[in-house]
A and B are shown apart, each in its own frame.
Chain A
Amino acid sequence: MGHILIENLGKTYIDRRRKQRNSKDKNRSPGTQVQVLKDINLELEDGEMVCILGPSGCGKSTLLRIIAGFDRPSEGTVLIDGKPVKGPSSDHIFVFQHSSLLPWMTVRQNVGLGLRHMNDKKAMGKQIEEYIEMVELEGFEDHYPYQLSGGMKRRAELARALAVDPDILFMDEPFTGLDYLTHLKIREEVVNMHEFLGKTTLFVTHDIDDALVMGDRIVVLSGRPAKVKLSRKLTYVRPRDFMKEKGLSELREEVFFMLGVHYAV
């Protein structure tokens, strides 16, 4: 379970605040229309991790939000396991760009959010412990988010997402704001978890190396309106080193070039 099929997806935002004053037919153009996504076709196999790259503001977050059911498409369809997406659900957990741990709840309570309907409270407590251990936060169960470092918050959020055993994980630049080493460390953990749990994952990032090191596939979007510019399977075994893999370093240059950077080191 965790197959995603996106067909001819388009998204147009209507900005009502910026009305076109000179527009003659007021009924037909009530505001400025901004086409963000256009003709996106994408299929994710069950258990695949796809990393999405694209210039800033091209619509990566919008795409993710639509697939996760937080936003509606203007055109096209999104099918998850053959059924159209109706709205958010605990089968598809979204890890947000900025910390979304509930600040008034402890780590334990946050991780337990998706397990609150379990009747057996003992089993529930055990399961929470398990996931807290998995992200190495033992001893911080009763801490509030403000008492955690940025990296620990990310880990707690990962534990919360994984604890409901979702079919799909959506991650929108989850490493934003982490220092370099923490970034690498948590990236490693995400890769390990992916190899171990094999959940379908859509991972948005602006870091090309992240995409190359983590993804079963990378997808590059163009600037607005975003279209799929490149979709490439990566079959290299992990852990990967793009300095040594010739194919990877070539792809890296190609992607940099595609995103408008010509002299990347």
Chain B
Amino acid sequence: MILFFWLLLSRFSGWSKSVFPGPLQVFESLWGLILNGVMVKHVVASLYRVTIGFYLAILLGIPMGIILGRINIAKSFLNPVLHFLRPISPLAWIPLAMLWFGIGDKPAIFLIFLSSFFPLVVSTTVAVANIDPVFFHVAANFNFNRYEQLKKIIIPAILPEVVTALRISIGIAWLVVVAAEMIAVKSGLGYLILDSRNALRMDYVMGAMIVIGIIGLFLDVLMKRLSKIEPVFWGSIGS
């Protein structure tokens, strides 16, 4: 369907082929990019940055969310800062990121980290605060220590919501990586788009867009799978 409309539009829009290439031409160029290894190189570069930035966000964001959800003093100190920083688009950090981290992978990773970090912290905090207090009573009644409380109550209780948050934030991270790669680096899908635009190769631009869409879809499916695992799944049927 989409392909058909695309074909029609490109034929009859009146724009020339180099401005609005048709599907055949785009897939041909895309295939060329895949065969000569250019596309693989850029995809790997983008995925690498998203992976590192995303893991950093998980590593720092989820523990921080748990602390904020459980310790009121931490909450009253950090929450105002968090809520102030959260609505600022990660893209607004670009100048600072470049100033602090220079050029290369680091500023891009930093931006991806920021884009996932805040949603993860906030969702985790909310999830922890919403745990039914009766479960903490049970934990106290059966003499759970702090580690057991974390492992057997807090983590399983928040897992469904955290997995949902992960799914949303990897989507955001994938959006941000393309923008981040347009400024500070010489590789990645964002760079490919910018570079092709400068070379006036709209077929490459569109090819890259298709790859971005497919990978984004793939990441989402991957995260959806995660929420189907039984220990994660407990709450979604209700109990």
Contacts and interface: CB of A to CB of B under 8 A. Distances in A.
Interface of A: 68, 70, 87-90, 92-94, 96, 98-105, 113-114, 144-146, 164
Given A102-B153, A114-B142, A146 B137 contact: no
Contacts of A89: 141, 143
Given A104-B156, A104-B157, A164-B142, A88 B239 contact: no
10 contacts: A88-B137, A90-B141, A94-B141, A100-B137, A103-B234, A104-B159, A105-B156, A113-B138, A114-B142, A144-B234
A90 B134 contact: no
A96 B134 contact: yes
A99 B238 CA distance: 13
B135 interface: yes
Interface string B104-138: 00000000000000000000000000000011011
Contacts of B81: none
Given A103-B235, A145-B239, A98 B140 contact: no
Interface in B194-208: none
Nearest to A170: B141
B210 to A, nearest CB: 40
Contacts of B140: 70, 87-88
Contacts of A102: 135, 138, 152-153, 156
B142 A113 contact: yes
B32 interface: no
A70 B137 contact: yes
Prevailing SS type, chain B contact patch = helix
Which residue of B137, B138, B231, B235 has the most chain A CB atoms within 10 A of its CB atom?
B138
Contacts of A113: 138, 142
Given A99-B239, A102-B152, A102-B156, 14 more contacts: A88-B137, A88-B141, A89-B141, A89-B143, A92-B141, A93-B141, A94-B137, A100-B135, A100-B138, A104-B235, A113-B142, A145-B239, A146-B238, A164-B142
A221 B72 CA distance: 36
A101 B238 CA distance: 13
A2 B144 CA distance: 22
B163 to A, nearest CB: 13
A133 B141 CA distance: 23
Contacts of A93: 141
Contacts of A98: 134
Contacts of B159: 104
A88 B139 CA distance: 9
Nearest to A110: B138
A92 B137 CA distance: 12
Interface string B179-212: 0000000000000000000000000000000000
B134 A146 contact: no
Interface string B14-53: 0000000000000000000000000000000000000000
A167 to B, nearest CB: 13
B231 A104 contact: yes
Nearest to B156: A104
A103 B137 contact: no
A32 to B, nearest CB: 22
Given A90-B143, A104-B157, A104-B234, A144 B137 contact: no
A109 to B, nearest CB: 9
Which residue of A89, A90, A113 has the most chain B CB atoms within 10 A of its CB atom?
A113
Contacts of B153: 102
Contacts of B231: 104
Nearest to A114: B142
Nearest to A144: B234
B237 interface: yes
A10 to B, nearest CB: 23
Contacts of B234: 103-104, 144, 146
Contacts of A100: 134-135, 137-138
